[in-house]
Amino acid sequence: MPRSPAPRLPSLQRRLLAFAIALTLVVLAALGAMLISGTATHTAIQDSRTQTVPHILERQRATANLERLIRFGWIAATAQAPKDWRQAAITAQALAYHPSLAFDEELRRQVIQVHATIRQVIALREQAQDLRHSGQDNKRADIVDEEAKNLWTPQESVLATLQGRLADDAAALIVTRMDRISRISNLTLQSAVFTTLVILTIVGATAWMVGRNLLRPVVGLAQAMRNTQLGHDNPALPQPATAEIAVLQDAVGQLHDALHQANLREHALRSSEQRLNSIFSASEAAIVLTDSIGQVMQANDSFLRLLGLRDTLDLTLQQLTHPEDRPRSAAIFKAMTAGEIDRYRMDARLVRMDGTFVWVDVTIRAIRDGAAPPHQYVAVAIDISDRVRAEKELLFIRSLVNQSADPIYCLDPLDGGRMVWANAATCRHFGVSEAQLLNMRIPDWDPGMDMQRTEQVMRDSLRNDTHVVETTHRIAGGEVIPVEVSASTLEHDGRPYIAGYIRDIRDRNRMLETVRRSNEDLQQFAYVASHDLQEPLRMVASFLQLLERRYGTKLDDDGREYIRFAVDGAVRMKQLIEDLLAFSRIDSRGAPLIPTSLERAAREASDNLIATISESGASIEWKNPLPQVVGDEIQLVRLMQNLLGNAIKYRSPDKPVAISVSAIRRGDMWIVSVADNGIGIAAEYHDRIFMIFQRLHGIGAYEGTGIGLAICKRIVERHGGEIWVESQENMGSVFKFTLKAV
Amino acid sequence: MRLWLSLFGLLCVAIVRPTLAQEVAVGITSTAPPFVEVDAEGRLTGGFNVELARLLCQRMGRPCSLEKTGFPQLLTRIEEGTFQIGFANLLKNAEREQKMLFSAPIWRSTSSFVSRAGSPVVDPAKARRNGRICVVHKSQQEAFIADQPGPQAHLVPTASHADLFDALTNGRCDAALLPTVHVLSFLASPAGSNYDYSGPPLQEPRLSGNVHIVVAKSRPELLDSLNAAIAAINRDGSYRALIARFFPFDIL
């Protein structure tokens, strides 16, 4: 969620406080108005109770008493019995002066006048009564009574008028009071309406402000929180209107960021857990989790496979450890429990389910909270059976090498050929201790080597894998002896080394010298024999031919045939002797080996065979120019001529001869191939054909003595190479030989 | 056993005593009809004050014991508190207010001189000088006449209105000053047939105004209860009916 620095914003609290204050003031004003209104209403009611109602009751009582006064007046004016009108008059006087008819001065005055009239009426009645008592004139008495009655009658109207006025006064009081109450009520109603409008306005403004400054932002924040919960991205929140919302938005933003980070961490943790589970499950290393006492809690498949287990129920590492290794591992466990170490690594044996054991490189790490004792251990075991076996074999081999009677050593070619390892035989060979020997370099024991040459030899050695050299060593006692050193280039830990094997060749040289002299004698013998045998053989052949010419006619057919057989034998023997002579001359009469063009030698050989080639219709394909080699050109011509001639001689009868000649380089040697499409050679004869005078066919089948390939072999070997054939019967042959490159 | 009986007795006393304490002693002056009516043996049988006392006691929900007494005795016993309520048609003055409590007005009174019919109208300022005036002892009327100039012998106090009418008809006084309403029954009776009001009621504040029931100073709660009962009988019309039974007009 994007957040920008919060500007100075108004406080929602202050705004709400302002609205609350305004609302409170209005409510207080309304309450004040209501209080005033209530007080006025109460006052009006109290006034009504204490004034209006008593006044009305006063007037009602006065009206009733006026009614009684009318009645008493009428009785006083009209009653027949004196007792009645006299009593009525007395009562009328008591009534007329009663306070109930004196609250109003006008009323009191008129009532007193009416009472005065009643007194006059009573006086007339008394007069009439006197007239009757005196018996003077009853008629006059009646007239006087009538005057009294007439005097009274208008007073009824006066009293009725007074009653009406009192009723009007009461009504006026009621109307006045009701008008006042109505005004108060109207004022109260208007105040209530006004207050309601003001309150509604304030409430509306408050609601608008709350909606704008609180509700909408809170809804937005709620949506943001929902988005955060669902892991959705949040759109940018609107610019906060208040400081509180800004704080909330900032808090939500921080919460979102925190949750996002927590999600990322959770995702990373889950991924890590998955990876760990994958590693745990797929690891070739056996992994096992144990509790604080070594009880196995969880193990991966590799662990089960390693120990041939189906499950790990009720197993402890102690049980799985080989009995001989348990004391060692128990001591280490104790140290881990004591907090002295957190992890250790050791080679130990674990007992498999079938009772056998397996060597493992086990690493155990304690899992603990702070400085508390470990509550879990995790062990990772790697099967090192092969390594242990190899180490044992290595140990055995080292033992063998160390105990070998032949000196075996190892040099550092980059350190002047310094000895870096030597077996006991080497120490005996040089007559020094191993410590002394490891400080010696080649010039220290080879008198023919100085440091400069040593470095050159080391460089040359690094270019060759294996090579055998003959040199001299100063051995124990200071004697210098010839030795043959077989050296091989090794690489260990990214660094080259030269391992050597020293062979004392004093006996071998003596034997070789004997053989060499024997060979020279033999060659001399063969040469002499063959050379000296040629003359008697020629003599035998010449005389046999002379015998046949002179006495051929005298001989019968058998005699002539015997002579012919003898001549053929002599001729063939002569050829054998010549071939043998040539064979022996390869070494004895050979030229020095010098850089020579094999191409030229091969062409010359081909030229020598031109007639045969022409006769046979053979074709020779020179696939590439033949290289320069170190050799004797005459012998190389003979080599190629023998091979080309064999290819033509042993051709297939049903197809023309096709010969191809090629050469490829291998290291410092050239491999030359002469391939044909001839009759081929069965595999069992591949070695025999190179032996002298060995023929695979009868004498009559092919010409020759069977010495050609033996000569080829002899020439190649004199040049330091090898020759062999790759062929199958009727599938043609490929003769290959190697020559040193220039 | 005796102990248990003693405890039971104490319990009964504790229960009954509050009930007895709630009974209200009501004194009613033995005035003339229509306020008080007595039988031949002098026992209260009816009258406006008696009926009003019963009606108010009923509305107060209190048992009342009505006792006839003289006007001076009633004032004394109200002061003592042996009467908690007194019906004596009393007007309020400062002296009385110090000694007793006054209820809401129950009716309005004026005072008039009564004298033999045809005799000259009594001048209040000269009444005591010109003749003997009967008044009820300790009444406002007595105080008024006592303030007027004249010989002391012309001030003739009586214990009650009945005694006052006897004194008037027996010639022990020439006129009597008493509440106007009190005279109506007397004037309507044969004994009062030759008597009449002497002029209109006096225009003297001390002698006219609201008539009250008095309550012992020590029982203000009884006054509240009494006023509530007066308001109640005013509202429900029973008081107006009572007035109509005993008076020819509304004396309120």
**Within a domain: residue B7?**
no
| pLDDT for residue B18 | 44
Which among A4, A112, A99 is positioned nearest to A54, based on CA atoms? A99
Task: Name which of A72, A100, A112 is nearest B252 (Cβ-Cβ).
Answer: A100
| pLDDT for residue A719 | 92
| pLDDT for residue A166 | 85
Residues of A whose CB is below 8 A from B251? 98, 100
> DSSP code of B155?
E
Q: Tell me: do A509 and A480 sit in the same domain.
A: no
Q: Which residue has the higher pLDDT, A480 or A247?
A: A480
**Within a domain: residue B231?**
yes
Q: What pLDDT digit, counting tens, does each position of A23-70 carry?
A: 888 888 878 877 887 787 788 778 877 788 888 888 888 888 888 888
Q: What pLDDT digit, counting tens, does each position of A674-716 carry?
A: 999 999 999 898 988 988 877 777 766 777 778 889 999 999 9
**Within a domain: residue A212?**
no
Residues of A whose CB is below 8 A from B183? 90, 94
**Within a domain: residue A268?**
no
Q: Tell me: do A524 and A431 sit in the same domain.
A: no
| pLDDT for residue B25 | 93
**Within a domain: residue B3?**
no
CB contact under 8 A, A61 and B252: yes
Residues of A whose CB is below 8 A from B211? none
CB within 8 Å of A428: residues ≥ 6 apart: A407, A476
Residue A464 has pLDDT above 80, yes or no: no
CB contact under 8 A, B180 and A97: yes
> DSSP code of A211?
I
Q: Tell me: do A730 and A696 sit in the same domain.
A: yes
Q: Tell me: do B104 and B214 sit in the same domain.
A: yes
**Within a domain: residue B152?**
yes
Residue B17 has pLDDT above 80, yes or no: no
Calculate the CA dihedral of residues A119, A123, A125, A130 and round it to 10 degrees: 160
**Using CA atoms, how far apart are residues B173 and B154, in angstroms rounded to an integer?**
8
Q: Tell me: do B104 and B122 sit in the same domain.
A: no
Q: Tell me: do B31 and B89 sit in the same domain.
A: yes
Residue of chain A whose alpha carbon sits nearest to that of B202: A97
**Within a domain: residue A336?**
yes
- State the Rg of chain B over Cα: 20
Distance from CA of B197 to the nearest CA of A (A): 8
If interface means Cβ-Cβ distance under 8 Å, which residues of chain B face chain A?
Answer: 108-110, 112, 180-181, 183-184, 187-188, 193, 196-197, 200-201, 208-209, 248-252
φ, ψ of residue B100 to 5 degrees: the values are -155, 170
Q: Tell me: do B213 and B233 sit in the same domain.
A: yes
**Within a domain: residue B252?**
no
| pLDDT for residue B176 | 95
- Region A413-429: mean pLDDT is 89
Q: What pLDDT digit, counting tens, does each position of B66-111 carry?
A: 998 888 889 999 999 999 999 988 889 888 999 999 999 999 888 9
Q: Tell me: do B223 and B171 sit in the same domain.
A: no
CB contact under 8 A, A97 and B112: yes
**Using CA atoms, how far apart are residues A662 and A624, in angstroms rounded to an integer?**
6
**Within a domain: residue A4?**
no
If interface means Cβ-Cβ distance under 8 Å, which residues of chain A face chain B?
Answer: 61, 64-65, 68-69, 72, 86-87, 90-91, 93-95, 97-100, 112
Mutate to test the interface with B, among A70, A75, A85, A90 (most CBs of B within 10 A): A90
Last residue of a domain, one of A489, A504, A519: A504
3-state SS of A290-304 is: EECCCEEEEECHHHH
Distance from CA of B57 to the nearest CA of A (A): 25
Residue A542 has pLDDT above 60, yes or no: yes
Residue A228 has pLDDT above 80, yes or no: no
Task: Name which of A64, A90, A112 is nearest B187 (Cβ-Cβ).
Answer: A90
Q: Give the CATH number, domain containing residue A329.
A: 3.30.450.20
CB contact under 8 A, A98 and B197: no
In this structure, the strands spanning A376-383 and A357-367 are: antiparallel
Domain that holds residue A547: 505-589
Q: Give the CATH number, domain containing residue A619.
A: 3.30.565.10
Residue of chain A whose alpha carbon sits nearest to that of B197: A90
**Within a domain: residue A640?**
yes
Structural contact between residues B87 and B27, judged by C-beta atoms closer than 8 angstroms: yes
| pLDDT for residue B14 | 47
Residue A649 has pLDDT above 70, yes or no: yes
| Percentage of chain B lying above the pLDDT 70 cut | 91
**Within a domain: residue B135?**
yes
| pLDDT for residue B220 | 92
Residues of B whose CB is below 8 A from A97? 110, 112, 180, 200-201
| pLDDT for residue B21 | 46
Mutate to test the interface with A, among B91, B186, B194, B249 (most CBs of A within 10 A): B249
Distance from CA of A155 to the nearest CA of B (A): 18
**Within a domain: residue B171?**
yes
CB contact under 8 A, A93 and B197: yes
CB contact under 8 A, B197 and A64: no
What average pLDDT does chain B have?
86
The answer to ipTM > 0.90 is no
Q: What pLDDT digit, counting tens, does each position of A363-401 carry?
A: 988 888 877 888 888 888 888 888 888 888 888 888 888
Q: Tell me: do A327 and A181 sit in the same domain.
A: no
CB contact under 8 A, B180 and A68: no
What's the total number of domains in chain B? 2
CB contact under 8 A, B249 and A99: no
Q: Tell me: do A66 and A177 sit in the same domain.
A: yes
**Within a domain: residue A647?**
yes
Distance from CA of B208 to the nearest CA of A (A): 8
Q: Which residue has the higher pLDDT, A276 or A147?
A: A147
Distance from CA of A175 to the nearest CA of B (A): 22
Last residue of a domain, one of A525, A557, A589: A589
Pull the structure tokens for residue A254: 């921080």
Q: Tell me: do B129 and B197 sit in the same domain.
A: yes
CB contact under 8 A, A87 and B188: yes
Q: Tell me: do B66 and B120 sit in the same domain.
A: no
Q: Give the CATH number, domain containing residue B188.
A: 3.40.190.10
Residue type, A692: I
Q: Tell me: do A162 and A29 sit in the same domain.
A: yes
CB contact under 8 A, B249 and A90: no
| Percentage of chain A lying above the pLDDT 90 cut | 14
- Region A109-138: mean pLDDT is 84
- Region A291-298: mean pLDDT is 86
Pull the structure tokens for residue A562: 């015997």
A2-6, A19-23, A179-183, B86-90: the lowest-pLDDT one: A2-6
Q: Tell me: do A297 and A364 sit in the same domain.
A: yes
Residues of B whose CB is below 8 A from A108? none
Q: What pLDDT digit, counting tens, does each position of A481-496 carry?
A: 999 888 888 888 888 8
Structural contact between residues A669 and A740, judged by C-beta atoms closer than 8 angstroms: yes
Q: Tell me: do B116 and B153 sit in the same domain.
A: yes
Strand-pairing partners, residue B215, are B85, B101
| pLDDT for residue B11 | 47
Last residue of a domain, one of A335, A362, A389: A389
- Region A637-653: mean pLDDT is 92
Q: Tell me: do B84 and B131 sit in the same domain.
A: no
Domain that holds residue B220: 15-108+209-246
Q: Tell me: do B218 and B167 sit in the same domain.
A: no
- Region A244-263: mean pLDDT is 79
**Within a domain: residue A307?**
yes
- Most confident option among A302-316, A463-477, B134-148: B134-148
What's the total number of domains in chain A? 5
**Within a domain: residue B81?**
yes
Residue A237 has pLDDT above 80, yes or no: no
Q: Tell me: do B45 and B64 sit in the same domain.
A: yes
Q: What pLDDT digit, counting tens, does each position of B177-189 carry?
A: 998 888 888 888 8
Q: What angle do CA B4, B10, B16 make, to 5 degrees?
A: 135
Tokens 């004040």 identify what position? A32
3-state secondary structure of A703: coil
- Region A622-642: mean pLDDT is 92
**Within a domain: residue A241?**
no
**Using CA atoms, how far apart are residues A84 and A41, in angstroms rounded to an integer?**
51
- Region A399-414: mean pLDDT is 86
Q: Tell me: do A578 and A648 sit in the same domain.
A: no
Chain A to chain B Cβ contacts (< 8 Å): 56
Q: Tell me: do A600 and A664 sit in the same domain.
A: yes
- Region A321-347: mean pLDDT is 86
Q: Tell me: do B202 and B214 sit in the same domain.
A: no
Residue B16 has pLDDT above 50, yes or no: no
